[in-house]
Every structure is written in structure tokens, then in C-alpha cells.
């Protein structure tokens, strides 16, 4: 599941847009709520969630296959 931005909590700082190495938020305008333009490109690295200054403004659910440990 790609990142989900809570529009009420987002402060429009743009840190998530700058942090995303895969450019998932491509085309997002400064001082606006980021737009998830390429959801399938998300690697679920959690960088956008970690850099966000407002806890809960971005949520990211990691797909089950990525959570399974193989031995």
C-alpha cells in the first residue's frame, strides 16, 4: 500500500517529497498536500514517515510478503 497523507495533519512542509528516493510524490506542489503520483514505485522504506515532523500525518502499510522472513 502506498503512503497515505492525512490532509488534516499535514503541515505542507514537503520533507516527504524531498526524502523519497523513488519520486513517488512526483509533481507535488510546494506548500500543498503531497500527491502520491506513482504508488506502485513505493519501496515501503518508511523514509517519508520517519522524516515527517507530525506523527500520524503519513501512514504506510507494509505488504505482508515484505514482512515475512525467509530462512
Question: pLDDT means per 10 residues in the chain (71 residues)?
Answer: 93 96 95 95 93 95 70 55
- In angstroms, rounded to a whole number, what is the distance separating the alpha carbons of residues 60 and 63? 9
**CATH code of the region 1-71:** 3.30.70.20
Q: Measured between alpha carbons, how far is 37 from 26 in angstroms, rounded to an integer?
A: 6
Phi-psi domain of 31 (left: phi exceeds 0; alpha: psi -120 through 50; beta: other): left
Helix segments in the chain, DSSP class H: 15-19, 47-51, 64-67
Task: Report pLDDT for 61.
Answer: 82
| Predicted TM-score of the model (pTM) | 0.82
Amino acid at each position: 500500500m502506498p503512503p497515505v497523507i492525512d490532509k488534516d495533519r499535514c503541515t505542507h512542509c514537503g520533507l516527504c517529497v524531498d526524502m523519497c528516493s523513488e519520486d513517488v510524490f512526483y509533481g507535488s506542489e510546494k506548500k500543498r498536500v503531497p500527491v502520491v503520483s506513482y504508488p506502485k514505485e513505493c519501496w515501503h522504506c518508511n523514509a517519508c514517515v520517519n522524516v515527517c515532523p507530525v506523527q500520524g500525518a503519513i501512514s504506510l502499510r507494509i505488504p505482508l510478503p515484505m514482512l515475512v522472513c525467509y530462512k
